């Protein structure tokens, strides 16, 4: 018949794990009850992928968990419920193939402490080349899979070879098989994530060139890390994204154009860092307000009344040029209400310039919601913690410090999952 139209690799269903390998050989580990369900569901899925006139050859690892997975697949594939199956059991050939067995992890496993040390050493050395004591490296497994691939390819020339070939094997061996077949690099192999239990990896024959095209999108750890990083930058949330205004000159968007025109202010403290700048800002704001209300002045003809009203809103009354006293500077650096959850609430810094700093501080302490600033005034927080809690960007938005910490936690979680996936438990179970 020639080459099969499809090659399907299946990782075994869920099997027993944890500390069982200290007393039970790896090849005798059996499926869990959930694993049996997974295997039978895989048989139903396989049936949906086949044509009624397909013939089948199974090659399975001789380990108990892979043989039981094959049995579960065949049970549902050949079942006559709910409809008669076009694949009678006697027409399906099943071969045990020792070269498809899992990477040898030694004999009975040592204590968990020793296993942890060995797995850390394996991670440092490299998963592909590290040879397990009394066992194999992934490179050793690659060598025997290479021999199996050559034997499989030669069998395609047999007249009675099936139209669909199913390989029931293990997680690492699935990746090693693909590495050999598609000439993956060592670096790409080590970046690949493990396939799920009973996940199908499908290779379809392209009649035009006689090559097998991989139908799956293989998942990698580096891609997962990028996705986590991007999700931190652009979270999927019902809260709308901040609008980006227009396009500036040279094709720059509004943000880039504004950034090129001026340096972005990082926090509120920079606004009050220079008294000369403060004076100029107050004068500019007054002039801008006067220009904006020019027609009001013309219609009323009362310049002094307008000036008084502007002074009440724009700067404290009187001849003083300084609009911020040194003692009040620390309060303003933290935001009018201390930042945090009370941003936007009524400010304790009332517009009456006659209020003393002592009154302002007492008012802050009396607030029902305990802001960072109020706690600092009571001596409940140290200075470093205050700076961290009340930091804000140029728009008064929340600091990115917490987001950076969350991003670090996400990265640690991905690293933990990767280590578990590449550990003995992740490989075997």
Which residues form the catalytic set?
12, 102
Q: CA-to-CA distance for 373 and 365, rounded, in angstroms?
A: 9
For residue 95, what are the β-bridge partners?
59
Residue 21 token pair: 């390998």
On the CB side of 161, how many CA atoms lie within 13 Å of its CA? Answer: 20
- Contact between 377 and 364 (Cβ < 8 Å): yes
Residues with Cβ within 8 Å of 178's Cβ and at least 6 positions away in sequence, in order, are 9, 184, 201, 214, 218
Task: Return the SS3 of 290.
Answer: helix
Task: Return the SS3 of 356.
Answer: coil
Task: Return the SS3 of 362.
Answer: helix
Q: Which residue has the tokens 């992740």?
A: 426
Task: Return the SS3 of 275.
Answer: helix
| Max Cα-Cα span within the chain | 106
Nearest to 342 by CA among 389, 378, 272, 403: 389
Task: Look at phi and psi of residue 249 and say left if phi exceeds 0, alpha if psi is from -120 to 50, else beta.
Answer: beta
How would you list the strands of the sheet with 200-206, edge to edge?
93-96, 56-60, 164-169, 6-11, 200-206, 211-214
- Contact between 176 and 99 (Cβ < 8 Å): no
Residue 103 token pair: 């990477």
């Amino acid at each position: 018949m020639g080459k099969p139209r499809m090659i399907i690799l299946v990782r075994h269903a869920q099997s027993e794990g944890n500390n069982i390998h200290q007393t039970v050989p790896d090849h005798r580990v059996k499926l869990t009850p959930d694993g049996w369900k997974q295997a039978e569901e895989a048989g139903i899925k396989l049936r949906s992928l086949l044509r009624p006139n397909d013939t089948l050859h199974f090659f399975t690892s001789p380990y108990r968990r892979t043989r039981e997975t094959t049995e579960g697949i065949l049970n549902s594939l050949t079942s006559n419920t709910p409809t008669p199956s076009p694949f009678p059991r006697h027409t399906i050939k099943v071969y045990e193939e020792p070269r498809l067995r899992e990477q040898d992890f030694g004999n009975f496993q040592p204590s968990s402490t020793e296993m942890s040390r060995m797995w850390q050493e394996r991670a440092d050395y490299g998963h592909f080349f590290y040879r397990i004591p009394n066992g194999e490296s992934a490179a050793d497994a690659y060598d025997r899979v290479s021999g199996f691939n050559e034997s499989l390819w030669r069998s395609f020339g047999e007249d009675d070879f099936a139209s669909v070939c199913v390989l029931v094997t293990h997680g690492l061996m699935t990746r090693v098989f693909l590495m050999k077949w598609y000439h993956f690099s060592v670096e790409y192999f080590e970046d690949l994530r493990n396939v799920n239990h009973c996940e199908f990896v499908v290779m379809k024959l392209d009649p035009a060139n006689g090559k097998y095209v991989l139908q799956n999108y293989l998942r990698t750890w580096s891609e997962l890390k990028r996705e986590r990083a991007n999700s931190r930058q652009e979270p999927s949330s019902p809260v709308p994204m901040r609008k980006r205004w227009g396009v500036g000159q040279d094709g720059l968007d509004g943000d880039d154009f504004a950034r090129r025109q001026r340096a972005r202010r990082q926090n509120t403290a920079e606004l009050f860092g220079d008294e000369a700048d403060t004076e100029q800002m107050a004068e500019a704001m007054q002039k801008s307000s006067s220009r904006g209300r020019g027609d009001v002045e013309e219609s009323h003809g009362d310049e002094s009344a307008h000036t008084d009203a502007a002074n009440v809103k724009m700067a404290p009354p009187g001849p003083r040029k300084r609009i911020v006293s040194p003692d009040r500077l620390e309060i303003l650096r933290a935001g009018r209400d201390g930042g945090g959850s009370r941003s936007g609430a009524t400010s304790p810094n009332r517009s009456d310039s006659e209020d003393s700093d002592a009154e302002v501080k007492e008012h802050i302490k009396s607030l029902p919601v305990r802001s960072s600033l109020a706690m600092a005034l009571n001596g409940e927080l140290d200075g470093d913690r205050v700076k961290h809690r009340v930091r804000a960007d140029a728009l008064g938005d929340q600091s990115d410090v917490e987001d950076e910490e969350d991003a670090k936690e996400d990265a640690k979680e991905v690293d933990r999952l990767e280590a578990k996936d590449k550990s003995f438990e992740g490989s075997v179970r």
